[in-house]
Chain A
Amino acid sequence: MTRARKAKDILMQSITWAASGLSAWVLIAILVFIFTNGWKLLDWSVLSGNYHARNIVSGFVKESFDESVFTPPLSLSAEDIVSVKFGFAVRDEVDKQKNHVHTITWVDDRSPLREGTITTAGAAQGDPAPFASGMSVNKIVFSDADGREETVGRLKQQSPREWVPILDSRAAFIKEFHGKEPGGGMRGSLLATLMLIGLSLLFSVPVGIFAAVYLHAVAKQNRLTKFIRSSIELLAGVPSIIFSMMGITLIFPLIKIFGLGGQSIILGGLTMAVLLLPVLIRQTEEALRAVPSSYAQASLALGATQTETLFRVVLPSAKNGIFSACLLAVSRIVGESAALIFTMGTAIQDFPKLTEGSTSLAVQIYVLMRGENPNFRLASAISIVILIMILILNLTVKIVSELTDRKGNASCPPRRVKASKAS
């Protein structure tokens, strides 16, 4: 008997262990995968940089330059190909977007290439063009001693080992320099995600709170209320891609009246707001339910009306719970992609605007992973940022709910009750 019970005990225990171990293992496996792929890439330039490489086209006025031989610093390695005539070094690299680039690793202060001015029409035309380490060379157009024009560089499908010697031996002076600043950053998507969070909360939090107050305190507990509550529950289970379709077919014509055409962060924010409502209503109602009924009774006994009691006593007491509901909503926004693909589009923008389409961080990962050569490294780097955001949000929720618990135990009602009495 005891042996059989012991065996059963061990079996059941091992099942619980295996189950929890499995889920922990999955999380660790995901973390290891993402960190091994993306950690090396993740630095400040990825967080704050442009996704699209800014191309710089500069022209040169001088038709000759002081002939001098530049000496490269000793820190350069064998992979840095040096142009002693023009005072710079380049290296063949694969950039964050998985493209081959010829990155400039050294520029002498007196390099004639520093004298270029931007030729692109616009506000910056005529300004000194940047020519610095970190940029890369697309092509260089030069003129030889007989005045013939020639082009060398990456766009000519030459490696630095091929084109730098050609430049040094034949160029009399340089006419045009086509370079680009590195891309592959996530700043645009990060900003768009923050805008989306702000807008979605702006639209959904007031509606969510009032709806929760209605269901909790105002509504009669009858069949209609039951129906509304179960509709909200059901709404929480609707797949987000369906909200996306709703956004494009129902909300889009609505905001078109206000002159907004096309996909935009506003459209995405409105769609996300609808998606968040069930979460917010449910969590807020829970928070309201957790407020001891003695608070409301005391307020009513002191002569406050039902509305005053609700908005000045019950709601403020539940504010921590509502705050954690908002934080949970934020993590939902950060992780959402399906609801945004149709409403905000899949075009990565470096300078997102509220009235134009853009990608959130999660959608940028989707964009990076499609196509012929999925970019695992950059996608993993973005995943790390998303995971860190979610981690911070979850920790905040935990801390806030712990604070709420403590407050609940120490039977001291919020100070605002006094204020409401006075008024």
Chain B
Amino acid sequence: MKLKKRFTTLLTVILALAMILALAACDKKQGTDPSQPGAASGTTAGSSPGGDRAIHVYTRDAASGTREGFESVVGFKGKLTEYANEVASNGAMAQQVGQDINGIGYVSLVTNFAENNLKPLKYEGVEATEANVINGSYTLKRPFSFTTRAGNDYASDEKKQIVEAFIAYLADSKEGREVVAAAGGIVEIETGKPWSELKAQYPIVDKDNSALEIVCGGSTSVEKCITAALESFQGIAGNVQFKIDQTGSGDGWTRVLGDEKDGPNASDIGFASRDFKDTEPVDGALRHGIFCQDAIVAVVHKDNAVMDLTKEELYSIFTGDTGTWDAIGR
């Protein structure tokens, strides 16, 4: 009995210690503050950058617009190394690469790099900034495209008019572009037209539209920009209602012009974080186009010594020709 009691006490103490240790480690990771360099480098101590280390390639799933953009610019479509780790979202990509000192992946420029322990890499020596995307020097980018339903395929004429008005606000107006830019999209604001001029063509915005609903589908990457744009459009377009049901670039065309256009997931505007493919003809749409751009950034762990990579280097890393960070030589 005495033994059992002592044993119980011992075990409780051990468990409690294990718990405290684990939680402390947990807290340390969560509390990583960008202003405290090295706060989270505890896990990586010992594996000094520059040692003989195998590169861990991370990739998005095949339906991703980010992957489509990255693979087509770097030019390794269909040649991705079979050792690549596939992740389901850009958020998961950021998190996993941020915990893998030997990892390399790619995310959108709107990602919070510091929060995820990431270092954005220069591409061909050019830093990924909004200015560099607009002036064309940073070429690792992708468009955010939209398409509407076919010209005569709307529930009502009002619905068609409000969708047209929203597209004009989103893609053509200065005000709409400002909102998109503030939400992380890259677009030239100054070339837009003032909404006060454009709005004359869309008299519907001066009516009470609280009974109308704009339904958006497609890419999840555009969600932040679209939400901000629709929230602000609501205030200038008679309180129009909206539904943002984003599931991935592949669904953008399908739910607006493709198989599912009359199904339960039917949408009014479909978005893709890439160009629409040849298999996704958008000619019949009331309007289609690109409303902003997004930079794709190759990322590594923040303690990785690499600062920038060229197209050739990225190609050889992602196809598996270059297997270690030493071979990169930086």
B18 within 8 A of A: yes
Report the separation of the CA atoms of residues A346 and B221 in the bound assembly, to the nearest whole angstrom: 15
Q: Are B108 and A347 in contact (CB under 8 A)?
A: no
Q: Are B264 and A346 interface neighbours, CB within 8 A?
A: no
Tell me whether B22 is interfacial, beta carbon within 8 Å: yes
Report chain A residues within 8 Å CB of B243.
345, 347, 349, 356-357
A-facing residues in B245-279 (Cβ within 8 Å):
245-247, 264-266
Interface flag for B129 (CB, 8 Å)? no
Cβ of B208 and Cβ of A121 under 8 Å apart?
yes
B210 touches A122 (CB 8 A): yes
Interface residues of A in 341-378 (CB under 8 A from B): 345-349, 356-357, 369-374
Of the candidate stretches A9-17, A218-226, A292-300, the one touching chain B is: A9-17
Contact A371 B245, CB 8 Å, known A29-B23, A120-B236, A178-B235:
no
Say which one of B120-128, B146-154, B174-182 lies at the interface with A.
B174-182
CB <8 Å contact, A347 and B23: no
Contact among A6, A121, A155 with B238 in the assembled complex (CB-CB below 8 Å): A121
Stretch at the interface among A40-48, A67-75, A261-269, A309-317: A261-269
Within 8 Å CB of B38, what residues of A? none
Q: Roughly how many angstroms separate A232 CA and B125 CA in the complex, as a whole number?
A: 63
Would you call B107 an interface residue if the criterion is a C-beta within 8 Å of the partner chain's C-beta atoms?
A: yes
Question: Do A155 and B178 have beta carbons less than 8 Å apart?
Answer: yes
A10 and B208 form a contact (CB under 8 A): no
Assembly CA distance A347 to B183 (angstroms)? 19
Q: Cβ of A157 < 8 Å from any Cβ of B?
A: yes
Whether B110 and A372, one on each chain, are in contact in the complex, defined by CB atoms closer than 8 angstroms, is: yes
Q: How far is the CB of B230 from chain A (nearest CB, A)?
A: 8
Chain B CB within 8 A of A52 CB: yes
Complex Cα distance, B206 from A248, in Å, reads 38
Tell me the B1-16 residues at the A interface (CB within 8 Å): 3-4, 7-8, 11, 15
B26 within 8 A of A: yes
> Do A370 and B220 touch across chains, with their CB atoms under 8 A apart?
yes
Q: How far is the CB of A118 from chain B (nearest CB, A)?
A: 9
If the complex has contacts A14-B11, A372-B221, are A357 and B19 also in contact, measured as CB distance less than 8 A?
Answer: no
A389 interface contact, C-beta 8 A: no
Q: Are A122 and B89 in contact (CB under 8 A)?
A: no
Rounded to whole angstroms, the CA-CA distance of A125 and B95 in the bound complex is: 46
Of chain A, the residue at the smallest CB distance from B294 is A372
> Among B18, B111, B208, B215, which residue has its beta carbon within 8 angstroms of that of A123?
B208
B304 within 8 A of A: no
Residues in chain B near residue A267, CB distance under 8 A: 264
B11 and A21 contact, CB distance less than 8 A: yes
Residues of B221-250 at the interface with A, using a CB-CB cut-off of 8 Å, are 221, 223-224, 227-228, 231-232, 234-239, 243-247
Q: What per-residue 1/0 map shows which CB atoms of A79-121 lie under 8 Å from chain B? A: 0000000000000000000010000000000000000000111
Known: A28-B19, A157-B182, A371-B90. 7 other contacts (CB 8 A): A13-B4, A120-B235, A262-B265, A262-B266, A372-B91, A372-B94, A374-B95
